[in-house]
Every structure is written in structure tokens, then in C-alpha cells.
Structure 1
Amino acid sequence: MLKFISNSLCRNKKRFILLLIGITIFSGVLIYLFGIKQGNTDVTGDLLPQKEQSSTIIEELTEEIIPLDEKNSASGISPGAIAVYNIDLALDEQDVFQISAEIDVTNESQDSWTDIGFYFIPNALTDANKPDFMEDGAETAISGITSDGEEIPFELVDNRLLLKLDAELKPDEMKKVKIDYTLKLPENGNRLSQVDDNYYLAQWYPMLGHYSDGWNIENYDSKGESYHTSYGSYEIDYQLPTEYLVASSATDGEIAPTASGTLAGDNIKDFYLALMDPDDWHTAASSVTNTALRVYIPSAGMDFTADMMAVTEDAFAFFEERIADHPAEELDVIANDGGMEYPNIIEVNSNPDDFEHTLIHEIAHQWFYYLVANDPYTDSWLDESITEWVASMYMVEEGYQDPFAFAARIAQTRPTAHLINLPLNEFEKGDYYSTIYGKTPLLLQEYFEANGGSDAAFDFLSAYVEQFRFDYVDTEKFAEFFVEQHGEDSREFLNSWLDLEKE
């Protein structure tokens, strides 16, 4: 930190000296004026004390030369772009979705843009692009992209959709774009999937990327999450050919079949939507504090909704008590064997004898991935490793047998990377899992066992979420905050498994 401050002062040396001279002169004038006004009983009550007033003025003046991110080392990372989504979605009798997405994109960067970048993951799952393990591909076609009725040229490669602008979009300006396309989900696909008469829409719409010296949109990588999206506001109108159970990232309300409706929500990273055949599901509803809980379990098997709900209630309440209150009005749990997290909704195992670990892990993601966000392509450990660690600590507290057994077992299945904050494409597939879900949770647990135990661990996590709620972090931000909380001696621990010298 001292080196950081020193560098900052050197960069602004001349301005800083001039500023000090100006402050000295100005402070003298203030003292003089204050001495005059002190004798005037009509205005004394409106004045700040001299020390407080001088400090306030100095802070206002120094704002000019100290950037916000340099003043607060633990501030989050700007996404550079934000979006408001208004989407019309209609499903026809041939299982094809007709989708029209109107998106208001605001430039929050310091650059003027000549293009706008989206993830369009359905294109990465077509027959031409899909991962080898997928038997069936998605079918999608963009029929038009417009703004104010004028066509916008675009490029679509893998999951990277770039809209070419005819005029620069300057900082703080907004551009409304409309993207019309069709989508047929792959049967038994990867996250985006149709299973019988159930439709799981994950990463199904054009998702605005992050902007920092260009659009940070990587190619699709199925071994992890390769998309880094911004918090956004959503309004989605849907029309269906028959009635379905609807579960989404919005607040859906009573569990009841419907053929049309509107879904809306704010501060959502990526919007998930499930349309489910009512005959295929056992359901249950409950609540914890201010959050409604809804559970869906396949009706073809045993009805263990009560067991799943009991764990859901306990885990959610535990994380709220030990880490932070969660703002979700509703959390949906779908036992479709997806094993995946989305804002306010998760997919978990359908096996009544083996569902708890995945359920607890995915619930914990509502804090680490959703409340505190990171780029899962470059820093996947920040959500996956922390989540697995948190889930295991919960199981310790609740008396589960061998709560870290999953992490220990997977850490031994393959070699692990020495430095764990690698981008997805630099991991071998097996090494990614052994490192992120195995080695790293064990490292974190070992550190806190020697430094205050579970109380210290949860105190740190609580402070971390409070600092970065609805914000973005990277490895360097995490390390800064960790050292701030645990002292300079902790830097040696971090350097033993994190590359903190990246550009």
C-alpha cells in the first residue's frame, strides 16, 4: 500500500505541490474570515468548526488529483457498460422460440465506442460449434438487428456478437438496440436445454459483456463459465402455447401453471427461465425470513420435496446469519441434475440419496457469484473455490460426516496447478476441477484453522460481501482486501498460490 501511495504521489508531484501551496493560502484566508464571523452571533450556528471545515475543503480539492479507485483500495471494478433488457418471448407448437430483445446499452467507460459487444451463447451450441459431448445442437438465426429502425451490421463468431456502430457512442451515452432471432433448444443440451416438454433457458439471450480497453468476450468454454456479464434490469413478456410452471431469476409468486405473463427484476447478472410441464414435477413452497423458497422435484421418482426443502431452509438461513442478508424475494430449486447456479434460482441433483452437497454448494453461490461477482473465465476460483469452501464449512457446523471429503477427493484425482488464478483456457480440463474445487478450498480452510477458526472465516466473508455487494472483484482486489483484514503477514500465504504480478 505504501508503494502504491508513493507511486501515486510521484505521478502527481507537480500538481500536488501546487495544490499544497493553494491550500495553505486558502486556509489562511479561511482562518481570517472565520475569526471575523466568529463574533457575529447571527451566523455562527451555520458554520462548521474550523478543523472540520478546513478538512472538508481540502478533501474536496484533493478529489481532483486522486482517482476514486486509488482513494479506496477495496472499491470494486467497473463493468464499463450496463444494460436494461426488454424481451418478448413466444414459444410455438414446433418448440421454436421467437424472441425480440430491446436493449438499452449505456457506455460507462472512459472510451468512445465504435461497436457494442454481446455474448450470444446459443450460437456456440449449434451443430457447427457445439462441444463434442453434446449430441444435439441448438438452432438459432438472427433475423435482424436495428436501432431507431435502421439496420446495424454485426459480426457473430462463436459466442461473440459485435454490433458495428455508424457513429461513436461516447461516455455516458445510451444506445437502444433491437435484436430479433429464433431459437430451438438442443435436446438434453448443456445448460441451455430441452428435456421432453421442459425448457431450460440458460444464457439464451444477447448478454452485454464487460468493457475495459475493448470488449472482454472470450470464446465459449464448456468446462466452466466463460461469460462475464453485468448486473442489469429486466422485463420479459412471454407467451406459451399451453400452460407451464414458470421458474426464473425474477419473483414468480405462487406455483401455478400459466401460459403468459411478465417477469421483471433488477440487479440480475444473467436471467434464467425454466418452463416446465406441470405433470412432471412435485413441488413445495416455504420461506426463510423475507425470501420465498420453491422446490421442484421430478414426479417420476420419489417425492422428497420435504427433505430438500428442509436443507434449503437451513442452509439459506445459515448463510444469511453468518455471512450477509440476501435481498432475494424468492429462491427456486429445480432438481433436474443441472448442478448450476443462476441469480435467485439453482439446478441441483434429483437423487434423494445424494442431493445435499450440490444443493448447499449452489445455494452458497447466491453470495459468491451473485452478490459478489467476478469474471469466471479469468478468476473462476473467486466464485467456485470460495463457494465450495463455504459449503464445506456449513457442513462442518451442521455435523455432516467428512464435510471436506469432496474437496479432498477431487484434489487427488488429477495434478493441481501451482498458481490457481489461471484463465479457463490455460487449465487442462481435469486439472481445472482438481485445482478449483479441490486444492483451493482446502488451502483456505487450512489457513483459517490456524488463524481464528470458523468464526474468523465467516467474519472475513461477511466483511467481504459487505464491501463488494453487487460489485465486481478480481484476484488482485481480493488479495488487497484479504491483507487489509489479516495484515501484511498474510501476503506470504497468498503469494504461495496466487499470481499477483499479472499485468
Structure 2
Amino acid sequence: MTRNRTFTIVIIALLCLLAVCYLWPAGVGAALPFNSRSDLWDPGKSQQQPVYTFPRAEKTSYQMDLYLDTLNRTIYGQSLISTVNSSGGVLGELWLTVYPQAFQSKGLSPAPAAAYSQGFSRGGMQIKQIQVNGENSEFLMEDISLKIMLLRELLPEQEIDIRISWLAEVPRVGYRYGTQDGIFMLGHIYPVLNTLTADGWCLPTNIPFGDPFCLSAANYLVRINAPQHYQLLTSGEKIAGLALDNGRENHLFKAEMVRDFSLTAVSGYEKLQQQHQNTTLNCYVPPRLKEEGKQMLAEAGRILEYFNCMWGSYPYGELNLVVAPMHGFAGMEYAGVVYVAENQLSSPGLGNLLAHEIAHQWWYGMVGNDQYDEPWLDEGLASYSASLYLNYRQATTSSTPMAVQAMKLDRALPEFSGPDQYHSVAYQGGESFWWALEEELGHDKVQKILRSYLAKYKYQLASTADLKQVINQEAHRDMSSFFSRWSL
């Protein structure tokens, strides 16, 4: 059966099932109606991935069925993860990240106290059942990781279907995972496969700053049942919807080659919209902030067009901006979605913030990296990109806007003493690396390096070693002495 025909059959089946009422809150959900293989999309030829061996983006898909219960702040979910054992060896276990587990207790929550406007509110995830290739599997929760013990080892290149029934509890907190003031911010809501390297599994831990994730890109097909008065914005394109007679609505979203699938549900928000080339820019704001939203939308359009010209086009049909009552972060990036904290709208640094978060659509989104072990890769590059844009807007050609000396950049999140040192090294130090590289090689050569970096690792995961290789190749010389200044 051809891929196009397979995809058509899956879509028709899902459209028929849009009218089916959900029974999950009362008990067990129906089986997922999806095709069990990951060939719903063809992203093109795979690219070399020397460090991260599993899962491979072009061989992985997530198909999910979600029921959002806003009254009880819960999401009932069923996931089907289809992939292939690309590790080159036998797998006896699988590891996934379950980020809602970070919010189980007041002492462990990464959210600052100010984010809990009504006092501490618990979040978490319950795993109801796991099947791997049709067989029930034992599992164990460890911190924000989920370990699946396999009954049968998975052979190299063996197809893998992982079915998970789960329930996520959403805390009442103004954070990237939580709900407050009419908005559900549901970043990293679902179980997601961890990555495997030649040295073993990437197993992030719960840390109250930074992004404790290392995510492979994948394809997503997601059906969401939610109250009709909530607008949904996600990392994907809405391809179908059906209003039900019980005050709820079924939505069907598709996303191709995205680093994660973000879900946000808003009630009482204004939706502003502009078209920029092939991308629809949406901005969701509380009505009282509509004028600020218009200004932010216009600035985001200019930023998007600048980055498109610099490195290559933004690959998705929509980019969603959300003004959120978020604490602990000024902004936050997801595939196709940017959060801006409400308290940043009047800040003189709003343009820099927007440019930084939109730059992440290239550096983190298209070219991924281990944000837990090598956070400087995406944060430093996003900061440098934002400064490039601001210099362009101000018609200046100044070099580094900050006096940060060379430092050890290659540090994992646990190696930082706290958020201040993390920001100083990953953001400021990482940006300084790129300005210093401009001084060494010139502005045009650095932009060529970035275009090559994007071309080679688009939709893949890149390491510091991978980036150094690209720089050496484009510089046509050994840059070891330069790298040593940054302990790379």
C-alpha cells in the first residue's frame, strides 16, 4: 500500500471518529484508530546522525487521542508511538520523559513560588497501561523519566509500536506547564521518547531552570476533545474539526517534523492575525492587551522575514504567539509556538525577547540539540541571532554588544550553580562565542557556517562536536586553538 493511500485511509477513519463521544472520564478509552506504522509522512532522505542513534526523526511518529477536562484540570491521553530500532544494537529497555512529574510536590516543582498565585497546586502523570508491540510491559517512574522494561528484546531495525494510556494532572500555576487566568499552558504534556547515544540514554532530571530535554523531531497526528469555548493552538495544522451537541468539540491536528507538540487552550482571548509570505502569524492576547498584541505581531513579522532571508524559510504554515501569565521565564519556545510573559509587554527588551524566541524555531526547532547536556548550543545561537536582528533594525554593524570573556561553554544544567550562572554562560557566553567567531572569520563566513549547519542537521540533533566539524569545514582550516578558548 502506498504512503499516500495509507495516510488517506487514516485521515478518513479519524474524520469519521470525530463524531464519537469520549468515554475516558468514566473509565477506559477506546483503542486508537491509527495505523500502527510511522510512514504517514515522507520527510525525504535521512541525514547522517553520528551521535544520536535512536529514535530517528524520519522513522518516528506520535499519534495521540486527548480529552481535556478543564473543570478538573486533567488530560486523558492515549499515545501510539511508532518507530524503528535505529540504535545499531539490541534494546532491552526504553526510556521516556514524563515532564508533568516535575510538579508533584512543592519542594520539587521547578515553578517559582510567585507562579502559584493561589498557593501550591499539584501536578503529575499517571500511567495506566503500556504495551510494546502488543504485549503488556512493566514500567517504572524515576524523577521525570519513565522506564519501560521489555518482555522481548528489540532487534536492530525492528519496528516498534508503543501504546500508552495516561492521565496528566495540570497544576494551577502560571508556568509553562499549568493553568491560570483562562489559559492552559500544556508544554511537554505527553510521554516522549528519550534519545539514545553510543554512551547510553539521555536521562534528564528535574532542574528549576533551563530546559531539561533532549528531543528528537517526529511527525504528529493528534485528536483533541475540548470545550467549545476554548480556542486551541498547537504545533500543528488543524485539518478537521467537529462541534458536538454536548458543548464540546473534536479537533484534528497534523504536524510534520516538529521537535515537540505543544498544546495551549485559551478562553476569552483575542486572536490577531497577519500573513507573512507563506506563514500565517497568529497572536493570542487578553482583550485588554489587544494594542500591545498588534505591535508584537508586527514586530514578529519583521523578525520572521529577516531570519527567512538569513538562513532559509520557516518551514511551517503557522507561527503562534501567546501572551501568557507566566513566571520564571520571560519567554518560551516550542515548535510553531512562542510564549511571551505578560509582564514583558511593556519591557524595552521585548524586541530582543521576541527575536530570541523566534530564532529558536531554527536553533532548537529545526536543528535540535541536547538542551540538558549542551544548553549553550541553542541558547547562545538564539541570543546571537536576536542581536543580529536588532543590529539590522537599528542599521548598525557593531560587534559584540556585551563584554563577556571566553569561558567554558560545554556545561550541562547540573553543573551550573543556579539560573544566574546558567544565563551568563549559556546565553551571554554562547552569544559571545559567535561574535568572537565573526572577528576570526568575518560576518559573511559565519552566516555561511550557519546555513551549512542548518542544511546538514535540519530536523536532526547536533552536538558541539558536530558544530565544530561544520566550522572547520567552512573555515578550511583547523580551528582548535579558537575552540580551546571556550574549553570546547
TM range (shorter): 0.7 to 0.9
User: For residues 75 and 185 of structure 1, do their structure 2 counterparts lie closer, same or farther at Cα, with a shift above 3 Å needed?
Assistant: closer
User: For residues 346 and 478 of structure 1, do their structure 2 counterparts lie closer, same or farther at Cα, with a shift above 3 Å needed?
Assistant: same
Deviation for aligned residue 1:305: 2.6
Partner of 2:222: 236
* Alpha-carbon distance in 1 for matches of 2:353, 2:369: 21
Deviation for aligned residue 1:241: 3.0
Partner of 2:3: none
* Alpha-carbon distance in 2 for matches of 1:234, 1:178: 14
* Alpha-carbon distance in 2 for matches of 1:183, 1:75: 33
Partner of 1:133: 112
* Aligned residues of 2:242 and 2:251 also touching (Cα < 8 A): no
AA aligned to 2:83 is V
Structure 2 unaligned runs (5+)? Answer: 1-46, 114-119
Deviation for aligned residue 1:139: 3.5
* Aligned residues of 1:154 and 1:161 also touching (Cα < 8 A): yes
Query: For 1:377, what is the secondary structure of its paired residue?
Result: coil
AA aligned to 1:131 is P
Partner of 1:80: 54
* Aligned residues of 1:79 and 1:230 also touching (Cα < 8 A): no
Deviation for aligned residue 1:471: 1.9
Query: For 2:76, what is the secondary structure of its paired residue?
Result: strand
User: For residues 404 and 252 of structure 1, do their structure 2 counterparts lie closer, same or farther at Cα, with a shift above 3 Å needed?
Assistant: farther
In the TM superposition, 1:124-163 aligns within 5 A as: 124-127=102-105, 129-131=108-110, 133-134=112-113, 135-147=120-132, 150-163=135-148
AA aligned to 1:467 is K
* 2:457 equivalent to 1:465: no
Deviation for aligned residue 1:172: 1.0
Deviation for aligned residue 1:75: 5.9
Given candidates 428, 436, 452, the residue that maps to 2:426 is 436
Partner of 1:227: 213
AA aligned to 2:361 is Q
Query: For 1:408, what is the secondary structure of its paired residue?
Result: coil
Given candidates 269, 272, 281, the residue that maps to 2:262 is 272
* Alpha-carbon distance in 2 for matches of 1:240, 1:439: 43
* Aligned residues of 1:114 and 1:167 also touching (Cα < 8 A): yes
Deviation for aligned residue 1:132: 7.0
Query: For 2:414, what is the secondary structure of its paired residue?
Result: helix
User: For residues 88 and 371 of structure 1, do their structure 2 counterparts lie closer, same or farther at Cα, with a shift above 3 Å needed?
Assistant: same
Structure 1 unaligned runs (5+)? Answer: 1-72
User: For residues 201 and 399 of structure 1, do their structure 2 counterparts lie closer, same or farther at Cα, with a shift above 3 Å needed?
Assistant: same
* Aligned residues of 1:79 and 1:472 also touching (Cα < 8 A): no
AA aligned to 1:457 is V
* 2:354 equivalent to 1:364: no
* 2:482 equivalent to 1:493: yes
Deviation for aligned residue 1:220: 2.1
Given candidates 338, 352, 361, the residue that maps to 1:346 is 338
Partner of 2:407: 418
Partner of 2:232: 246
Query: For 1:314, what is the secondary structure of its paired residue?
Result: helix
Larger deviation, residues 237-246 vs 153-162:
237-246
Offset from partner CA, 1:60-79 (integer Å, 9 cap, x none): xxxxxxxxxxxxx9865444
* Alpha-carbon distance in 2 for matches of 1:344, 1:212: 27
* 2:79 equivalent to 1:115: no
Deviation for aligned residue 1:88: 1.0
* Alpha-carbon distance in 2 for matches of 1:117, 1:312: 37
* Alpha-carbon distance in 2 for matches of 1:302, 1:390: 28
Deviation for aligned residue 1:449: 3.7
Given candidates 294, 302, 317, the residue that maps to 2:305 is 317
User: For residues 142 and 388 of structure 1, do their structure 2 counterparts lie closer, same or farther at Cα, with a shift above 3 Å needed?
Assistant: same
Partner of 2:402: 408
* Aligned residues of 1:395 and 1:403 also touching (Cα < 8 A): no
Work out which of the two has the higher radius of gyration on C-alpha atoms and give 1 or 2: 1
Partner of 2:9: none
* Aligned residues of 2:239 and 2:252 also touching (Cα < 8 A): no
User: For residues 76 and 465 of structure 1, do their structure 2 counterparts lie closer, same or farther at Cα, with a shift above 3 Å needed?
Assistant: farther
* Alpha-carbon distance in 1 for matches of 2:275, 2:172: 33
User: For residues 302 and 291 of structure 1, do their structure 2 counterparts lie closer, same or farther at Cα, with a shift above 3 Å needed?
Assistant: closer
* Alpha-carbon distance in 2 for matches of 1:398, 1:154: 52
Partner of 2:77: 99
Partner of 1:282: 270
Partner of 1:218: 204
Deviation for aligned residue 1:363: 0.5
* Structure 1 segments (4+ residues) deviating >6 Å: 253-258, 400-405
Task: Please tell me the root mean square deviation across aligned C-alpha atoms, in Å.
Answer: 2.7
* Aligned residues of 1:136 and 1:189 also touching (Cα < 8 A): no
In the TM superposition, 1:61-80 aligns within 5 A as: 77-80=51-54
* 2:187 equivalent to 1:208: no
User: For residues 103 and 249 of structure 1, do their structure 2 counterparts lie closer, same or farther at Cα, with a shift above 3 Å needed?
Assistant: same
* Alpha-carbon distance in 2 for matches of 1:132, 1:390: 28
Deviation for aligned residue 1:371: 1.0
* Aligned residues of 1:297 and 1:303 also touching (Cα < 8 A): no
Deviation for aligned residue 1:97: 1.4
TM-score (norm 1): 0.77
* 2:310 equivalent to 1:331: no
Structure (1 or 2) with the greater helix fraction = 1
